[in-house]
Amino acid sequence: MRRPFRLVWRKFWIGCILLKFLRLGFVSGLKLDLNFLAGMTNPSDLEQLAEIELQKGEEEDEEEQRAVPDGPSRTDPSHPYYDVARHGIIQVSGDDNYGRKLIVFSSCCLPPSHQLNHRRLLEYLKFTLDQYVEMDYILVYFHYGLRSSNKPSLRWLREAYGEFDRKYKKNLKTLYVVHPTNFIRIVWNIFKPLISHKFGKKLKYVNYLVELREHLNYDQLFIPADVLRHDEKLRAAQKGGPPPPVKTPPPRPPLPTQQFGVSLQYIREKNREAIIPPVMAQTVAYLKEKGLRTEGIFRRSVRVQTIKEVQKLYNQGKPVNFDLYQDVHIAAVILKTFLRELPEPLLTFRVYSQVLELLGVESSLRATRCKQIVESLPEHNFIVLKFLLCFLNMVSQESLSNKMSASNLACVFGVNLVWPRHGSISLSALTPINIFTEILVEHFAAVFGSRCPPAQVTP
């Protein structure tokens, strides 16, 4: 009996507030007229409207299953923000198509407000972003699942925006808001006076998940099950029937000259048995000559169109002259993109679980364990990995100039060297992956020195 009473009371409360706005001309029936928002200057009126829209959304979703975790949390209980991290609200899903870190915020994972300290949530968000804000990065916000019972207050949102200074906003390239509602648009109007025009241009509304495929590495993106179900419901409503299957183009056979998105073995067979893939050999040679002392090398992104042009040249077997572009960061992004687009990671799928277990190894023994892991790789993978890590070790030795220590390089390259066969890399997996990669860079001689295949190549 309690639930029907709650619904009746909610409708009565909404109705009272709606009467006020009906008189003001801001609401037509139960449908919000967004054309009037620009004329609303009273923040309290906007906040009331925002609450109305959130309550209406909850009523429409009564039939849907409440958000539940997609599985047990794998967060280490010793994590400094375990109380927040265990909910899976924030995830780092590798890189996008052009080497920029993808950070996901899922509203449906927010527990009821009385179960979460929102100040701690803000601190945890900053703690996560602090690892990546020196690089270009992307934020994906899944709005579905935000309810009056779990939403942070507007005061909290104001404080959060105030605390995210230029350090956080400068390298944010795009903020994707997925499944926006009128609530989002009202909140945007509340904050509009505080938001710069430049930052406002970074906001992109995404109505359906399929639209993300155009911009992101969709298969690596962490998407909660409740968000997937909600997207299907929206697509079904749009068509007036069951949701159409998401169309993906059939795989085409690769060109004989293909360099991106094909296996190491394929590249070797099509390039006169070259042990080091041409893309890696050329980018490393160029960066070794002209990029070792470049500040922030491997941290910066470049124009998407330029990366596509260079990839096309490589895939068509045409020569690439990086000097013509007059930007050393292009070669750096191409190298990361090549590694990320391998069908199987350079470290192989088999190694992924072994890397995650590194946290359970005593610190003094971790370098030895890393050596065992890399020496177990197939010979071709080992040779290519040794070539790459030898170069990254060189980069780290110039860290006073380029600001790229072994730790910074690990944050950039870790997720491009190993990932799971299915799904995306979870936020909790980043720590062991980064530790593993940092050891490979910092202790290159100790890890790689014993195994010297006859066919090995040095940068």
Residues 134, 181 within the same domain: yes
Burial class (CB in 10 A: 0-12, 13-18, 19+), 454: exposed
Do 97 and 156 lie in a common domain? yes
Asked whether residue 29 is domain-assigned, the answer is no
Statement to judge: residues 395 and 278 lie in one domain? yes
Q: Which single residue is written with the structure tokens 């391998």?
A: 342
Q: Are residues 345 and 437 in the same domain?
A: yes
Pairing label, strands 137-142, 90-95: unpaired
- Condensed to tens digits (0 to 9), the pLDDT of residues 338-359 reads 999 999 999 999 999 999 999 9
Q: By percentage, how much of the chain surpasses pLDDT 70?
A: 79
Q: Residue 26 — very low, low, confident or very high, per pLDDT cuts 50/70/90?
A: very low
| Total domains, the chain | 2
Residue 368 identity (one-letter amino acid): T
Give the pLDDT confidence score for residue 34 in this predicted structure: 45
| 111 and 200 housed in the same domain | yes
List the one residue out of 340, 329, 320 whose CA is nearest residue 302.
329
Q: Give the pLDDT of residue 106.
A: 93
212 and 282 belong to one structural domain: no
Mean pLDDT of 304-325: 93
pLDDT of residue 167: 80
CB neighbour class for 295 (10 Å; exposed up to 12, middle 13-18, buried from 19): exposed
For residue 59, the tally of other CB atoms under 10 A from its CB is 12
Q: Is residue 189 part of a domain?
A: yes
Residues 179, 135 within the same domain: yes
Which pLDDT value is given to residue 327? 94
Residue entry with tokens 């990669």: 437
User: Residue 32 is encoded by which pair of tokens?
Assistant: 């919000």
Residue with tokens 């009385």: 114
d(CA 389, CA 42) in angstroms, rounded, equals: 58
User: What confidence tens digit (pLDDT) does each residue in 106-118 have?
Assistant: 999 999 988 999 9
Two tokens at 152? 């942070």
- Give the whole-angstrom CA distance, residue 341 versus residue 333: 12
Summarised one tens digit per residue, pLDDT across range 187-216 is 777 776 667 778 778 889 999 998 888 777
Same domain, 328 and 289: yes
Check residue 1 and give its pLDDT: 47
Per-residue pLDDT at 262:
94
Q: Which of 59-68, 235-244, 256-265, 447-456 has the lowest mean pLDDT?
A: 59-68
305 in the same domain as 211? no
d(CA 158, CA 138): 21
Q: Mapped to the 3 state alphabet, what secondary structure does the chain carry?
A: CHHHHHHHHHHHHHHHHHHHHHHHCCEECCEECHHHHHHCCCHHHHHHHHHHHHHHHHHHCCCCCCCCCCCCCCCCCCCCCHHHHCCCCEEEEEECCCCCEEEEEEHHHCCCHHHCCHHHHHHHHHHHHCCCCCCCEEEEEECCCCCCCCCCCHHHHHHHHHHCCHHHHHCEEEEEEECCCHHHHHHHHHHHHHCCHHHHCCEEEECCHHHHHHCCCHHHCCCCHHHHHHHHHHHHHHHCCCCCCCCCCCCCCCCCCCCCCCCHHHHHHHCCCCCCCHHHHHHHHHHHHHCCCCCCCCCCCCCHHHHHHHHHHHHCCCCCCHHHHCCHHHHHHHHHHHHHCCCCCCCCHHHHHHHHHHHHCCHHHHHHHHHHHHHCCCHHHHHHHHHHHHHHHHHHHCHHHHCCCHHHHHHHHHHHHCCCCCCCCCHHHHHHHHHHHHHHHHCHHHHHCCCCCCCCCCC
Boundary (domain end) residue, out of 238, 256, 283: 238
The conformational region for residue 67 under phi > 0 = left, psi -120 to 50 = alpha, else beta, is: beta
286 and 390 both lie in a single domain: yes
Paired with 92 in beta bridges are 103
Q: Are residues 293 and 354 in the same domain?
A: yes
Q: Is residue 7 part of a domain?
A: no
pLDDT band at 160 (very low <50, low <70, confident <90, very high): confident
Question: Residue 457: inside a domain, yes or no?
Answer: no
Q: Rounded CA gap, 357 and 168, in Å?
A: 32
The chain-wide mean pLDDT, for the chain, equals 81
State pLDDT tens for residues 287-297.
999 999 999 99
Q: Whole domain around residue 207: which residue ranges?
A: 82-238
The domain that holds 371 is classified in CATH as 1.10.555.10
For residue 349, how many other CB atoms are within 10 A of its CB?
13
Whether residue 155 sits in one domain with residue 224: yes
CATH number (domain holding residue 201)? 3.40.525.10
Which residues lie closer than 8 Å to 23 by C-beta, 6 or more apart? Answer: none
| Residue pLDDT, tens place only, 234-287 | 888 876 655 555 555 566 788 899 999 999 999 999 999 999 999 999 999 999
Domain final position from 238, 255, 272: 238
Specify if 8 maps to a domain.
no
Mean pLDDT within 133-153:
86
* Whole-Å CA distances, 112 to 91, 150, 181: 19, 4, 20
**More confident site: 377 or 156:** 377
- Assigned domain for 362 exists: yes
